[in-house]
Chains A and B, each alone.
Chain A
Amino acid sequence: MIEGIIVQTLVKGSVYALLALGFALIFGVARVLQLSHTAFYMLAAFGIYTFADLLGWSPVVSIILSIVITTGLGLLVYKLFIDRVREHHVTVMLITLAVAMVFQELMLIFFTGQYRSAPAFVTGYWEILGVKVAFQNLLVFVGAGVVLLIIWALLSKTRLGIAIRATAQDTEIANLMGINVSMILFTVMGIAAGLAAVAGVLVAPTLILEPRMLWPPFVMVMAIITLGGLGSVKGAVVGAFILALVEVLVVFLLPTGAFLKGAFALLVMVIVLIVRPEGLFGVVFEEERL
Chain B
Amino acid sequence: MAIPGRLIALIFFVLLFLIPTFTQQPYILRMLIFANMFVIFAVSWDFVSGYTGQLNFGHALFFGVAAYATAMLNRGAPLGPHWPIWATIPIGALAAVVAGVAMCLPALRLRGPYLALVTLAFPLILLGVIFANTQFTGGELGISGIDRISDSRVTDYYISVVVMLVSVFIMWKLTDAQSGLVRTGIILHAIREDEIAARASGINTIRYKLFAFAVGGFFAGIAGAMYAHFLRIAGPSSLDLTLSFQAIIWTVFGGIVSIYGAVVGVYILYPLTESLRFISQFRMLIFAVIVILILLFMPEGIAVWIRDKIERQCPRCKLTNVSWRHTCRACSTDLY
Q: What secondary structure prevails in chain B residues at the interface with A? A: helix
Looking at the assembled complex, report how far the CB atom of A84 sits from the nearest CB atom of chain B, in whole angstroms: 6
In the complex, which of the residues B111, B113, B121 contacts A269, with contact meaning CB atoms closer than 8 Å?
B121
In the complex, which of the residues A85, A108, A215 contacts B281, with contact meaning CB atoms closer than 8 Å?
A108
**Judging by beta carbons under 8 Å apart, are A98 and B285 in contact?**
no
**Judging by beta carbons under 8 Å apart, are B289 and A102 in contact?**
yes
Quick one: which of A239-290 are within 8 Å of B by CB? 256, 259-264, 266-267, 269-270, 273-274, 277-279, 288, 290
Quick one: which of B282-336 are within 8 Å of A by CB? 282, 284-285, 287-289, 291-292, 295-296, 299
A133 within 8 A of B: no
B106 within 8 A of A: yes
The residue in chain A whose Cβ has the minimal distance to the Cβ of B121 is A266
B165 within 8 A of A: no
Looking at the assembled complex, report how far the CB atom of A161 sits from the nearest CB atom of chain B, in whole angstroms: 24
Residues of A within 8 A of B132 (CB): 256, 259-260, 263
B141 within 8 A of A: no
Supplied contacts A225-B117, A269-B118, 18 more A-B pairs, CB within 8 Å: A90-B252, A91-B252, A91-B295, A94-B248, A94-B252, A94-B295, A101-B288, A102-B289, A109-B285, A219-B124, A223-B117, A259-B131, A263-B132, A270-B122, A273-B109, A274-B105, A288-B111, A290-B111
Looking at the assembled complex, report how far the CB atom of B102 sits from the nearest CB atom of chain A, in whole angstroms: 11
Residues of B within 8 A of A266 (CB): 121, 124-125
**Judging by beta carbons under 8 Å apart, are A270 and B118 in contact?**
yes
Looking at the assembled complex, report how far the CB atom of B282 sits from the nearest CB atom of chain A, in whole angstroms: 7
Residues of B within 8 A of A139 (CB): none
The residue in chain B whose Cβ has the minimal distance to the Cβ of A264 is B128
Residues of A within 8 A of B245 (CB): 97
B156 within 8 A of A: no
B19 within 8 A of A: no
**Judging by beta carbons under 8 Å apart, are A91 and B116 in contact?**
no
**Judging by beta carbons under 8 Å apart, are B121 and A98 in contact?**
no
6 contacts between A and B (CB under 8 A): A222-B117, A226-B118, A260-B129, A263-B124, A263-B132, A273-B106
Could you give, for residues 30-48 of chain B, a 1 whenever the CB lies within 8 Å of some chain A CB and a 0 otherwise?
A: 0000000000000000000
Which of A's residues lie within 8 Å of B, judged by CB? 27, 33, 81, 84-85, 88-91, 93-95, 97-99, 101-102, 104-106, 108-109, 215, 219, 222-223, 225-226, 230, 256, 259-264, 266-267, 269-270, 273-274, 277-279, 288, 290
A-B contact count (CB 8 A): 125
**Judging by beta carbons under 8 Å apart, are B256 and A102 in contact?**
no
In the complex, which of the residues B55, B110, B125, B241 contacts A90, with contact meaning CB atoms closer than 8 Å?
B55
Residues of B within 8 A of A97 (CB): 245
Looking at the assembled complex, report how far the CB atom of A65 sits from the nearest CB atom of chain B, in whole angstroms: 25
Residues of A within 8 A of B285 (CB): 101-102, 105-106, 109
Quick one: which of B93-131 are within 8 Å of A by CB? 105-106, 109-114, 116-118, 120-122, 124-129, 131
Residues of A within 8 A of B288 (CB): 98-99, 101-102, 105
Bound-complex Cα distance A153 to B250 (A): 44
Residues of A within 8 A of B122 (CB): 270
**Judging by beta carbons under 8 Å apart, are B125 and A263 in contact?**
yes
Which of the listed residues B116, B121, B287, B299 has the most CB atoms from chain A within 10 Å of its own CB?
B121
**Judging by beta carbons under 8 Å apart, are B299 and A91 in contact?**
yes
Bound-complex Cα distance A130 to B249 (A): 51
Which of B's residues lie within 8 Å of A, judged by CB? 55, 105-106, 109-114, 116-118, 120-122, 124-129, 131-132, 195, 241, 245, 248-249, 252, 256, 281-282, 284-285, 287-289, 291-292, 295-296, 299
Residues of A within 8 A of B114 (CB): 226, 230, 273, 277-279
Looking at the assembled complex, report how far the CB atom of B52 sits from the nearest CB atom of chain A, in whole angstroms: 13
The residue in chain B whose Cβ has the minimal distance to the Cβ of A288 is B112
**Judging by beta carbons under 8 Å apart, are A222 and B105 in contact?**
no
The residue in chain A whose Cβ has the minimal distance to the Cβ of B105 is A274
Bound-complex Cα distance A270 to B117 (A): 10
The residue in chain B whose Cβ has the minimal distance to the Cβ of A254 is B132
Residues of A within 8 A of B121 (CB): 219, 222-223, 266-267, 269-270
A262 and B281 in contact, given A88-B299, A94-B248, A230-B114 (Cβ under 8 angstroms):
no
Looking at the assembled complex, report how far the CB atom of B167 sits from the nearest CB atom of chain A, in whole angstroms: 24
Residues of A within 8 A of B249 (CB): 94, 98
The residue in chain B whose Cβ has the minimal distance to the Cβ of A33 is B113
Bound-complex Cα distance A160 to B134 (A): 53
**Judging by beta carbons under 8 Å apart, are B113 and A95 in contact?**
no
The residue in chain B whose Cβ has the minimal distance to the Cβ of A32 is B113
Looking at the assembled complex, report how far the CB atom of B204 sits from the nearest CB atom of chain A, in whole angstroms: 14
**Judging by beta carbons under 8 Å apart, are B296 and A85 in contact?**
yes
Residues of B within 8 A of A261 (CB): 128
The residue in chain B whose Cβ has the minimal distance to the Cβ of A97 is B245
- 8 residue pairs, one from A and one from B, having the closest CB atoms: A263-B128, A259-B131, A105-B285, A266-B121, A101-B288, A256-B132, A98-B288, A98-B291
